[in-house]
Amino acid sequence: MAESASSVEALRVIPAQPPDCVLIDIMMPELDGHELCRRLRAMPALAATKLVMMSAKAYHFERKRAREMGADGFFQKPLESARFARELERLVADTLCVGFWGVRGTLPISRTDSVRYGGNTSCVSVSFPDGRLFVFDAGTGIKALSDELMAARVSRIDAALFISHPHWDHINALPFFAPLYVVGHQLAIYGPAQGDRSMRELLSAQMDGAYFPITVREFAADVSYHDLHEGEFEIARERIRTMLLVHPGNCLGYRLDHGDRSLCYVTDNELYPPGSSFHSPEYLEHLVDFARDTDLLITDCAYGDEEYPQRVNYGHSCVSQVVDFACRARAKRLCLMHHDPDQNDAAVDAKVSRAQALIEQRGAATVVCAPTERSEIEL
């Protein structure tokens, strides 16, 4: 480790022996931190070096300017040493943290036999080491995520929320996402329109004063709405692909590609078994291509195989078809979620055991699990 109080000297020394990370204060003599960051980022020798800005200046402009100059992260002073060390390590390693806040489907449950996996409906987050946040769906699990974000007292939350579809278990806890009511936070909401009804109209309809006493007009944060279709997009500097799924209404699956890692969030989705009059080999091939070689496949597995025959055309999948999909796609890790509300912890365990057995029979390398609420997976 080396330090320098001269930005001009740093420009000469740093490229000679490129470090893993450079910490830059904004307020420096000679060149200010933003200009130093810009010049360092332009050097090919430092392409793999993480440039991190630090400042006691809490203004959004400083964070935005740091990103524009090529900074990989921004830390606000004063710094708490243990947290700073932990987050800096994540940033240098470029680690993504995937958090599970709700893994149930249809409606939340509260029963003593379902405590381990939890009873909240769909919500999964992806935290980037530079502080950005992606959230997939706003089921009741988003309330726990909201509580954690507010407890952390983050000065500015910069988040993108991706809605798979506007069924209640995927949107009805959005009004309880507290950062929406705080000036200075920013939230971009993406999702599929339904016919002539935009994502903004769909979300505001459940908050029109009759169904919920607070309307979207009372959001104090900077909130934007974006209608998506099947395609490929660049959102918040990340590559996002979408695919229409087999479920009533327009429902999108999402794929996030970050460097050499990827994550797929595919719910709600019905995979019909071969032999069914509804089975489409073309759709399955398209879905497999969408999830090909993903590091983490998070997908709808609402039913055990024995339950599915009574639930055909409900818009959800069973274990054997989910395993077939994951193995065909060569997914490295398979996460089962959107569990039926009638299933207790033992029933979810049984689905995992069945999936493991099927994967072993195929000789595949996919690792399967059913994440519990508040669990995390690092990518």
Residue 126 half-sphere exposure, CB side, CA atoms within 13 Å?
25
Predicted confidence at residue 82, as pLDDT, reads: 87
pLDDT tens column, 86-142: 888 888 888 999 999 999 999 999 999 999 999 999 999 999 988 899 999 999 999
Residue 261's CB is within 10 A of a number of other CB atoms, namely 15
Enumerate the CATH 3.60.15.10 domain ranges in the chain, comma separated: 97-378
Q: Which residues lie closer than 8 Å to 124 by C-beta, 6 or more apart?
A: 98, 99, 100, 101, 102, 135, 136, 137, 141, 265, 298, 337
Across residues 72-82, what is the average pLDDT?
Answer: 87
- Mean pLDDT computed over every residue of the chain: 95
Which CATH architecture fits 97-378? 4-Layer Sandwich (3.60)
Q: Residue length, the chain? A: 379
Say what the pTM is: 0.89
Predicted confidence at residue 188, as pLDDT, reads: 98
pLDDT tens column, 239-276: 999 999 999 999 999 999 999 999 999 999 999 999 99
What residues does 377 pair with on adjacent strands? 98
β-pairing, 231-235 vs 222-228, is unpaired
Q: Is 106 left (phi over 0), alpha (psi -120 to 50) or beta?
A: left
365 to 255, 263, 289, 323, 335: CA distances (angstroms): 21, 17, 18, 12, 14
Please say if the pLDDT value at position 1 is more than 80: no
Predicted confidence at residue 22, as pLDDT, reads: 94
Across residues 157-185, what is the average pLDDT?
Answer: 97
Please say if the pLDDT value at position 80 is more than 90: no
Please say if the pLDDT value at position 65 is more than 80: yes
Predicted confidence at residue 29, as pLDDT, reads: 85
Predicted confidence at residue 63, as pLDDT, reads: 84
Predicted confidence at residue 97, as pLDDT, reads: 96
Where helices occur in 94-222 by DSSP H, the ranges are 142-151, 168-171, 199-205
β-pairing, 123-127 vs 133-136, is antiparallel
Please say if the pLDDT value at position 343 is more than 90: yes
Please say if the pLDDT value at position 64 is more than 90: no
> Which CATH number is correct for 21-92, 2.60.40.290, 3.40.50.970, 3.30.1490.120, 3.40.50.2300?
3.40.50.2300
Q: Distance between CA 244 and CA 290 in Å, rounded?
A: 11
